[in-house]
Structure 1
Amino acid sequence: EEASGRRREEDYSFVSVSGQSHRLHHLEKFTVYTVAVQAFNSKGAGVLSRPVRVSTLEDVPSESPVGVRCRAEDPHKMKVSWKPAKASRINGILKGYRVVYEISRDVHGKLIRESQVFEREEATLEDLHPDTNYTVAVLAFNGRGEGPPSDPIYCLTLPDVPDAPEAVRVHVGVGKSLVVAWKEPRFPNGNILHYVLYVYRGHTSEPEVEILPSSMYHHTVHGLDPGTTLAFQVEAVNSVGGGERSPLVHGTVPSTPDSPRPPVVLTFPRTVRLEPGESVVFPCDTLGDPEPHLTWTSPRDGKPLSPLIDKALFLGHVTPQDEGAYRCTARNPLGTDDLVHRLHVIRKKHPRFLRPNRTRLDESRSDERATRSTPDGSVERMGERPAGGMEDPARRRIPHPIRPGVRERSLPGAQRLDRHHGSLRGTFRGDPGYGILVFE
């Protein structure tokens, strides 16, 4: 700069114009420009006018945070960290980050998506489900709105003890026996290793204990006398340990244990979601005297299907045409009972996250438009010189060359900044990438 405080001609990018106004194209977003006008005639160029400092507007961030990582801290908590995008790509004043995370529980078919806002480059997500795969993405936002989300990462929370088995019930078995059946826990919170069955006889406080494989959902107690009453509890065990026991259920052997019994389906209904090409086995365990006859029917045409050994139905390499309800019906001369398993064939989809959200700036926040974030995270007010009156040499040239000849277009939501410097009045209007400077 010269002693008068004016910039030298060689500090500027020049464009020749005619008339008293010109539109500047291809400007950087949320960037301060110094603009001056110089008249010339056949004798040459005159003196530069006193410069006007104006800033383009904010826009939503154009890049997402990078290096997103996650670490499970306990079954219900996860820490997520990331690195910010380049300061020049924030396109405004960084307000914070939004962490978007979602799970899809195939067992129940419920999509759960949540998000939280954080100010720093790390976040702790709490109240999560144990042993659950979460899809996580991070996006930055400023006063104009939200930028694009980062590439999703997949984070698994730690396992926890399982919930109690559900729907425990007791049936009268064939002969002098009782059959206890149960459904797997709603939230196993890990891979079930085995079940523990507690059998209470009479008024004894210490139960008999049976260890049963994780694939078994019913157990028969044989050799009971007529009128005997037993109580049962079931506990699921995974790698963390045993969970809560189910409530006590009771069963009594009838006084005529050898009389015929109508069919009972011991298996509980299941809803299974598979991708094309996967396979599934639908069980259908039954009880009755005489032995029930089983039939499986197709959801497409109701025709009988051929089960495998042990009354189960096998569906291999499923396709979308295999979707539907598969019914198992048990019959004997005393009645019928049935069970319906449901199959959904889904295409694997990438998780969808919040899209950039453009919101118009509040006109009352003009002081925020005159600032910008710097690479070290501080906030710098534009249009002011540092202490001592000297301007930063790094800002002495226009950051982006001006290229004339670009087609004009209208600019919605324009902003007006009036500056009076002697005989020059500049009116600046524009959006984040365009500007108009009118001289009178």
Structure 2
Amino acid sequence: MWKEIGDRESGKLRPNSFINRIRSNRASSLQLSNHKEIVSSHRGSINSLQVDLTEGRYLLSGASDASLAIYDIQRATDYEAAGLIAKHNPILVDKQHPNGHKYAVSTAIWYPIDTGLFVTGSYDHHIKVWDTNTTQVVMDFKMPGKVYRTAMSSLATSHMLIAAATEDVQVRLCDMASGAFAHTLSGHRDGVMAVEWSNSSEWILMTGGCDGAIRFWDIRRAGCFSVLDQSHSQLGRRPPLVDQSTAKASTSKTRALQRKVGSGSSSKHSGNSKIFKHTKGSAKQRLHPGLLTSQDRATAHYGAVLGLKATEDGMYLLSAGSDSRLRLWDIQSGCNTLVHYEIVRLQSSKALQLAVTQDSGIVFLPCMTSVKAFDMWSGKSMMTLQGHYENINCCCYSTHDQELYTGGNDRQILVWSPLKLISDDMDECDRRIGQLPAVDEDSWSD
């Protein structure tokens, strides 16, 4: 760290590079926090965690006892051990609301642009929109089956759609503006357990089903436009773009051929129609690969797709499957990048919530009773975070504090933070109580 500070002082590092390097160093040194504790109020396994996208201050959690809780992770409610450990009690707890969920809450997400609303989905076949200030349900959507995951686009300015992944084969989009279903996306052959909006377009939706398929949808048109195939691969990152001169030459040749065919005699009309049909068919194949039989049955995993997570730049997609595989996909080309991640054991009964750092350098994957941290581009296992007594269901990374929050079947929410020295804690404690640190003294020497 001191080397980075020296390089920044001498001007060798630009401000953005310095910030990214410090964030990366903090993220790679995560360990169980010794200065922050979240007091869980849940009496069931924790299935979902999310920090709000506006302030990075409030943590929303949902559990299998149909309870919800909100924690202020920036301001502690109590201190222990002479002020060294900050305890965060829930500022909002909803356990037995008359209009609340009857069964386990499987997903809980914030409204992307305001903390005044949040959305929950449950095994009771309902998706509810809540008013945070009044703790009241303002909207209710009845789904055809258990709700596994919900998602809202953080880029959307033209719609207020909630994408719902349920045990039904169809993906439904709930419109918060009208209170009705806006779209029904058909294509999966089994229940859908993962859903994720693109970080580069507000119209692109990505879904993963129990049939092992990952489908890409443009909600402005009918049908999915791409189905990921694990055998369609490329080595490493995105390949270079095609040279424009070559593309222009091929385009000019195609136009010349079309003019030549168009000016042909009437005796060749039948042949020309065949060529036109072939060209039209190839264009259809290029525009709608997800509608073709051969590509429609492509699979991304040899089992159910349990979780999806897009990188912050919107260029890559991570997927975890019940085949104990973690795969990295190039979104533009739809190729499997062949990054070899360690084979880990994943629980297949629940949808998993993955987490990625802001610079897309580290991916966190819940693996039974531990969380594995992988280098995204090399696939190397960087660290294993162990602290839960039972299986872990979800993890959420806070870009504001570079902290990781995990929840599991042991009903606990653990905080993983960068290494913090005890001397720093003492200084903070002294500043908080307005006292100077005492000088070390002994009572036995003269």
What TM-score do you get using the length of structure 2 for normalisation?
0.20
- Of structures 1 and 2, the one scoring higher in RCO (CA 8 A, sep 6+) is 1
Structure having the higher strand fraction is 1
What TM-score do you get using the length of structure 1 for normalisation?
0.20
Structure having the higher helix fraction is 2
